[in-house]
Structures are given as C-alpha cells and as structure tokens.
Structure 1
C-alpha cells in the first residue's frame, strides 16, 4: 500500500475528512471530527490506527510490524509499519476496524448524521 491508496481508502468512507492539525507533514483522517488514522506524508513509513486495547496487544504480539502507537496512547493506538511485510488486505481491515471503533463512540446525533450521508 502506498500513501495514495491509503488516502483514497480512508476518504472513501462516510463522514471522513482529512486535515493537517499537527503541521504540514502529519495527515490526519477523522470521521465526524474524531481521529481514526494518521500518517507522515513525507515518509509514509507508518500509520497510526485506533484499536480495542485487547486486540491491539494481540496484534503487537502477532505481527512484528505492529507496534504501540507512536506519540499516542499506547493502550488505544497501534503504529503499523508500512514496510511491505503486511498484506494490503490486512491493513485495510485494520483501517476499517479503526473507523468502526471511532464511529461506534460517536454521539447519537453524530451517528444519525453519518448514517444519512
């Protein structure tokens, strides 16, 4: 997966916006204003994804390319190294999981607005 396909995959989801709140190099994806994925646009060496704490720990134990979230709450975020060692299908599934986890925590009115998009 390259940065263009990562970006397109994230933006194809309902209610997603892209922003640069941490400077010109950090591309952030949000669903209804809530962060679910981010990456460094200069290197695209890794992506950060929100995870369920138990699943996150399991992924870190199973895949060497999955590490505790860099500059994030390490209990709730994983950093996935984009070193080619993981199949794109698996990375897309983790993006889906991150999006779904964040979307599930939206307020009732935000969920309603998201569903109507």
Structure 2
C-alpha cells in the first residue's frame, strides 16, 4: 500500500486543521498564495502550482449534508485535494475525510476543516496532492531514442 508522504514543516501532533492554517502552510512550503476566482463565493480559494497553474487544493464553504457530514454548523469549510486512487477507498473511512464534493471521486477527496483532522495528516495529504499535480518531467529526445526501434 502507498504511504502518505511526510510533510516538511514541523507541526505539533495535536494541532487541528483549519482553513487559515492550510493557507499559511501552502505559503510557507510551496510559496503559493490562494486565488479567489469566484465573485459569488469570494472566500472560496484555489491553491495552484505557479508553473503549470494546476489546482492541488480547493478550499470552500459548503453545507455539511453535501458531503454526508453531520454538523451543527450551517456551512463548514472543506478542502478538496487530489489523491492516489489506490488510497481513496481507505482514506474515506477516516473521520473527517469524504468522497470528493463536486470532483472526480476516484482521484479527489474532501477533507473537513472543522477541527476533526490533525494538521499533520492534512499537510501530508496536501503534499501528496501537490506532487500528483506537479508538472511532469518530459523525456528528452536523447532519452527517447535509447530504446531500440524494432521492439514490439
């Protein structure tokens, strides 16, 4: 089974994950600031790579019932992140992790940012999402030509 990557920032084991913490983490680790692309939802944020502009996280406020969550709050902050499809099924069994809201449920998961999840776990999952959406390294012509052409 694939392991969740270890994050690079020292985070206390008992620290809980909230929206502001995620944004600060991304600024510190990835030098990324959030985009706020929706006029009708000005607090919903997209975190994307600076080079290829791919999203690695979407932070939004939604009704908890949209992800099957129970909460006394009218709306909760959640974060969608890309996930290794081999890990999705086991991760959504954890408290505070759900099948992705409004995204491909095989490759994305939704994390509740309401204090249920430890910041260290959220950051490790965020690191995985960042890596999965990073620009792919293209092979040079020289690397491609080292394989014999007559192989079938």
Into which bin does the TM-score normalised by the smaller protein fall?
0.7 to 0.9
1:1-117 to 2 correspondence within 5 Å? 1-14=17-30, 16-23=32-39, 24-31=42-49, 32=51, 33-40=53-60, 45-61=77-93, 63-103=94-134, 106-108=135-137
Cα RMSD (Å) = 2.2
Q: What secondary structure is seen at the aligned counterpart in 2 of 1:12? A: helix
Shift of 1:37: 0.6
- 8 Å Cα contact 2:61/2:78 also seen in 1: no
Shift of 1:20: 1.8
Between Structure 1 and Structure 2, the one with more helix by share is 1
Distance 1:87 1:74 in 2: 22
- 8 Å Cα contact 1:3/1:41 also seen in 2: no
Shift of 1:78: 0.3
Change (3 A) 1:41 1:67: closer
- Structure 1 residue runs of 5 or longer lacking an equivalent are 110-117
- Structure 2 residue runs of 5 or longer lacking an equivalent are 1-16, 63-74, 139-152
**Off by >4 Å, runs of 4+ in structure 1:** 41-44
Paired residues, what number?
106
> Larger radius of gyration, structure 1 or 2?
2
TM-score (norm 1): 0.77
Q: What secondary structure is seen at the aligned counterpart in 2 of 1:83? A: coil
Distance 1:44 1:29 in 2: 18
